């Protein structure tokens, strides 16, 4: 009888993601369909393993000034305390205050896809986010500063050789507003970009599992989204 093994469980999680991304690459023909298929693999991972307070969907993001982001392949947002999640004809629109993270899903990392992901992330970060004082039994907490929205790119492999070398580091440094904080290339490893140009690369293996655990740790550090001002959105009801 096979004994339980935590290393095998963690490795198996990664293997499922790698296998799913490989099937998308091998079985789907059109580039757009491949992109949608890749996003679906990551969305399934987050739906299965993230705590229920978080949701992951493909979505647009809107702020109370009426500005919209570009479409985000994998938007991780709060579902417990965010009162406005718009569903229309299969499309989801999230209020900017609800967002924790924004990821672009592609088949591979290269200079074009890094730049594309940075622009997507920047389109979310430039949105306005409201924050109200938080009432509690003994009084009121001051408004919470909206947290930094995590950004990244999720891929199967890399077009570069070596896959996570100097070209990647150079590409990550080009758009500070769209900084890719945490990303994963399932075949090769994870990479993180801190403020400035500091890049950390981990190619130790089982990248999808390593990425998931680090993402959960960062979400825990962010705590809860700010208390949004729903009246700021309601003003759009007046012609």
Please enumerate in sequence order all residues whose Cβ is within 8 A of that of 219, keeping only pairs 6 or more positions apart, or say none. Answer: 50, 54, 76, 100, 101, 150
44 is catalytic: no
List the beta strands (DSSP E) in the chain.
54-62, 72-78, 86-88, 91-95, 99-105, 108-109, 134-136, 139-141, 150-155, 157-158, 182-185, 189-193, 199-202
* CB of 42 closer than 8 Å to CB of 59: no
The catalytic position among 63, 97, 104, 181 is 104
The catalytic position among 34, 63, 78, 106 is 106
* CB of 157 closer than 8 Å to CB of 186: yes
106 is catalytic: yes
Cis peptide before 52 (omega within 30 of 0): no
The catalytic position among 18, 73, 78, 181 is 73
Distance CA(193)–CA(171), nearest Å, equals: 11
15 is catalytic: no
Distance CA(192)–CA(199), nearest Å, equals: 6
Q: How far is CA 85 from CA 6, 10, 58, 91, 149, in A?
A: 37, 33, 12, 11, 18
Residue numbers annotated as active site: 73, 104, 106
């Amino acid at each position: 009888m096979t004994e339980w093994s935590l290393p095998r469980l963690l490795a198996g999680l990664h293997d499922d993601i790698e296998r799913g991304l490989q099937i998308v690459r091998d079985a789907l023909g059109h580039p757009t369909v491949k992109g949608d298929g890749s996003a679906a693999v990551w969305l399934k991972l987050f739906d299965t393993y993230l705590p229920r307070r978080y949701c992951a969907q493909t979505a647009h993001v809107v702020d109370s000034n009426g500005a919209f982001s570009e479409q985000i392949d994998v938007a991780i947002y709060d579902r417990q305390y965010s009162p406005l999640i718009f569903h229309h004809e299969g499309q989801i629109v999230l209020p900017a205050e609800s967002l924790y993270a924004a990821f672009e899903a592609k088949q591979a990392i290269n200079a074009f896809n890094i730049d594309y992901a940075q622009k997507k992330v920047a389109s979310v970060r430039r949105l306005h986010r409201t924050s109200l004082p938080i009432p509690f039994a003994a009084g009121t907490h001051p408004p919470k500063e909206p947290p930094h929205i995590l950004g990244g790119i999720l891929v199967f492999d890399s077009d570069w050789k070596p896959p996570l070398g100097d070209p990647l580091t150079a590409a990550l440094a080009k758009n500070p507003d769209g900084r890719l904080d945490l990303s994963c290339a399932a075949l090769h490893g994870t990479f993180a970009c801190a403020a400035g140009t500091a890049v950390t690369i981990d190619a130790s293996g089982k990248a999808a599992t390593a990425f998931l655990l680090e993402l959960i740790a960062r979400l825990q550090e962010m705590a809860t989204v700010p208390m949004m001002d729903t009246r700021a959105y309601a003003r759009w009801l007046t012609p």
